[in-house]
């Protein structure tokens, strides 16, 4: 059956439910414990979450291994418990020498540039996944992002930066350690048969508990794009369309060809040390591309997952439809976050009207979907590709997040800088929406920008109040 259009799915009844848990108590800022090692290729088919010791395949009482507990119920739901953690010891420490200073006016909107020479992210940064955690006393921001160095011209890793305001970030030049918790947190897979041995890019972070994962608290779930060394076979016209639009802004390929990508999942107790979860596909991915002739038969990229209700998770991803010659967004649905059922292509945002000459003439990709906490509907920020391959950011809304996505404007809500030498003058993409809570009735839009010299950076734009039909570049705090 073709997946070119949305189809309804009736889920079978199952006891494997999943709950969405906030990571911190509302009264105490509760940072999950950090450990200095990086889990790179360990897989857990039984889905028992464990933090590996520094010596592979050895565990002892001092390694903080989470496994079977004879005094606990194997099917019990779990959540965070702030009374068990000393927040003074686990809270990330900020090093003032590594905090980025406020950008100058010519770099308006730029909040995070490439790293120092020799660092793991010294060549490219992008694909920000930003989360804000609030307590009664303070706030903390985490940003997972993609990066690569000059030495690794066709590979990339995922890193973590932390902040107290979402603007000035502390970063690490090497692997994340227990002192600051910043730096590289996940690298490419090492198994030759794996789907992610070429490069990885973070797509979404969720904090959930599940009966399928036995642990003492809710854990971080990282959905990411994994790239293999297998090149996608394309017609010449399609190859030009994809590579012209793959100028580092949203894709992890486009260097010497188009590499096949699939969605992956990793789980962590602290957001820094990750254990890959093996999916149904033989490569370890969550699921495979579509069959020949289907719209997503080439690759699967940017799996963005939204928690709708208990036992109902939705994944938005993109591919390139060779028949239409456009990028498109598709959906999948899951009860447990691990096994997914494809629903098909999301109804085209502009279906029924011509988009010739528009900012998204060549399609849409890299969707970020969030649920408006105040209104209850769904917002989708996405990249629109024009006929020249240049990207802008558009926005659409839907009542249920499944169908009837309507653009908020015929124009992009955010475009590349008009300054010829601007840091993001060649394109903007990989949007990440954050709804501000409390007294700030505002949306923040984090994004990847591309400059004239090919340099990338991560920028910030803000909405005009609660309206999200247009955004302005960040220009500093207003006192």
Question: Residue 210 is part of a domain; what is its CATH number?
Answer: 2.115.10.20
What value does the mean pLDDT of the chain take?
A: 75
In a domain, 357, yes or no: yes
pLDDT band at 64 (very low <50, low <70, confident <90, very high): very low
- The conformation of residue 194, written as its DSSP 8-state character, comes to -
pLDDT at 326 over 80: yes
What local confidence, expressed as pLDDT, does residue 56 receive?
28
pLDDT at 393 over 60: yes
In a domain, 45, yes or no: yes
Rg (CA), the chain: 21
Express each pLDDT in 220-267 by its tens digit: 999 999 999 888 876 655 555 555 544 443 343 334 567 899 999 999
What order do you get walking across the sheet with 312-321 strand by strand? 301-309, 312-321, 326-334, 341-345
In a domain, 247, yes or no: yes
**Mean pLDDT score, 56-85:** 30
Measured CA to CA in angstroms, residue 321 lies from 238, 298, 355, 366 at distances of: 9, 8, 17, 15
**Number of domains observed in the structure of the chain:** 1
pLDDT band at 93 (very low <50, low <70, confident <90, very high): very low
Distance, in Å, from the CA atom of 131 to the CA atom of 34, rounded to the nearest integer, reads 17
Half-sphere exposure of 227 (CA within 13 A, CB side): 25
Closest C-alpha to 394, from 370, 424, 363, 437: 363
Evaluate whether 289 touches 325 at the Cβ level (below 8 Å): no
Express each pLDDT in 331-376 by its tens digit: 999 999 999 999 999 876 664 455 678 999 999 999 999 999 888 8
Q: Residue 45: which domain range?
A: 18-473
112 φ, ψ to 5°? -155, 110
Closest C-alpha to 301, from 348, 338, 350, 246: 246
Distance, in Å, from the CA atom of 42 to the CA atom of 215, rounded to the nearest integer, reads 17
In a domain, 168, yes or no: yes
In a domain, 10, yes or no: no
249 φ, ψ to 5°? -65, -45
Distance, in Å, from the CA atom of 64 to the CA atom of 75, rounded to the nearest integer, reads 21
In a domain, 183, yes or no: yes
Evaluate whether 160 touches 183 at the Cβ level (below 8 Å): yes
What local confidence, expressed as pLDDT, does residue 88 receive?
36
Closest C-alpha to 456, from 33, 127, 140: 127
The model's pTM is: 0.79
Bigger pLDDT: 431 vs 240: 431
In a domain, 5, yes or no: no
Measured CA to CA in angstroms, residue 59 lies from 64, 214, 252 at distances of: 8, 17, 35
pLDDT band at 194 (very low <50, low <70, confident <90, very high): very high
Token representation of residue 60 = 């002892």
pLDDT band at 189 (very low <50, low <70, confident <90, very high): very high
Bigger pLDDT: 15 vs 419: 419
In a domain, 200, yes or no: yes
Express each pLDDT in 99-144 by its tens digit: 443 444 457 899 999 999 989 999 999 999 999 988 778 889 999 9
């Amino acid at each position: 059956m073709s997946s070119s259009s949305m189809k309804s799915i009736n889920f079978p009844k199952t006891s494997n439910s999943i709950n969405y848990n906030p990571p911190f108590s509302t009264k105490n800022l509760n940072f999950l414990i950090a450990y200095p090692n990086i889990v790179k290729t360990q897989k857990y088919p039984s889905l028992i979450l464990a933090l590996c010791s520094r010596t592979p395949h050895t565990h002892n009482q001092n390694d903080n291994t989470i496994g079977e507990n004879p005094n606990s119920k194997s099917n019990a739901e779990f959540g965070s418990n702030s009374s068990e953690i000393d927040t003074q010891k686990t809270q990330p420490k900020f090093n003032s020498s590594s905090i980025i200073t406020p950008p100058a006016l010519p770099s308006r909107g730029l909040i995070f540039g490439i790293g120092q020479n020799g660092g793991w992210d010294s060549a490219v940064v992008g694909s920000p996944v930003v989360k804000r955690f609030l307590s009664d006393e303070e706030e903390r921001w985490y940003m997972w992002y993609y990066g690569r160095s000059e030495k690794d011209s066709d590979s990339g890793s995922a890193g973590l930066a932390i902040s107290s305001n979402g603007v000035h970030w502390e970063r690490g030049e090497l692997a994340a350690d227990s002192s600051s918790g910043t730096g590289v947190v996940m690298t490419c897979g090492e198994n030759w048969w794996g789907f992610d041995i070429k490069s990885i890019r973070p797509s979404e972070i969720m904090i959930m508990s599940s009966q399928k994962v036995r642990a003492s608290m809710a854990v971080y779930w990282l959905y990411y794009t994994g790239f293999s060394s297998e090149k996608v076979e394309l017609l010449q016209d399609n190859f030009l369309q994809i590579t012209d639009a793959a100028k580092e802004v949203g894709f992890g390929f486009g260097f010497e060809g188009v590499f096949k990508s699939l969605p992956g999942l990793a789980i962590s107790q602290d957001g820094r040390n990750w254990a890959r979860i093996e999916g149904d596909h033989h490569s370890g991915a969550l699921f495979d591309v579509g069959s020949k002739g289907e719209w997503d038969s080439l690759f699967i990229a940017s799996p963005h997952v939204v928690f709708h209700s208990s036992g109902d998770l939705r994944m938005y991803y993109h591919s390139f439809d060779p028949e239409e010659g456009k990028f498109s967004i598709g959906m999948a649905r899951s009860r447990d976050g691990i096994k997914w059922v494809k629903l098909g292509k999301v109804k085209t945002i502009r279906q029924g009207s011509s988009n010739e000459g528009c900012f998204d003439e060549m399609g849409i990709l890299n969707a970020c979907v969030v649920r408006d906490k105040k209104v209850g509907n769904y917002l989708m920020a996405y990249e629109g590709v024009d006929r020249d391959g240049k990207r802008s950011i558009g926005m659409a809304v839907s009542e249920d997040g499944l169908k009837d996505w309507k653009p908020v404007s015929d124009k992009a809500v955010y475009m590349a800088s008009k300054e010829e030498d601007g840091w993001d003058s060649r394109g903007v993409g990989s949007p990440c929406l954050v709804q501000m809570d409390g007294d700030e009735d505002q949306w923040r839009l984090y994004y990847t920008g591309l400059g004239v010299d090919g340099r990338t950076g991560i920028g910030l734009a803000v909405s005009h109040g609660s309206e999200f039909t247009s955004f302005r570049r960040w220009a500093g705090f207003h006192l």
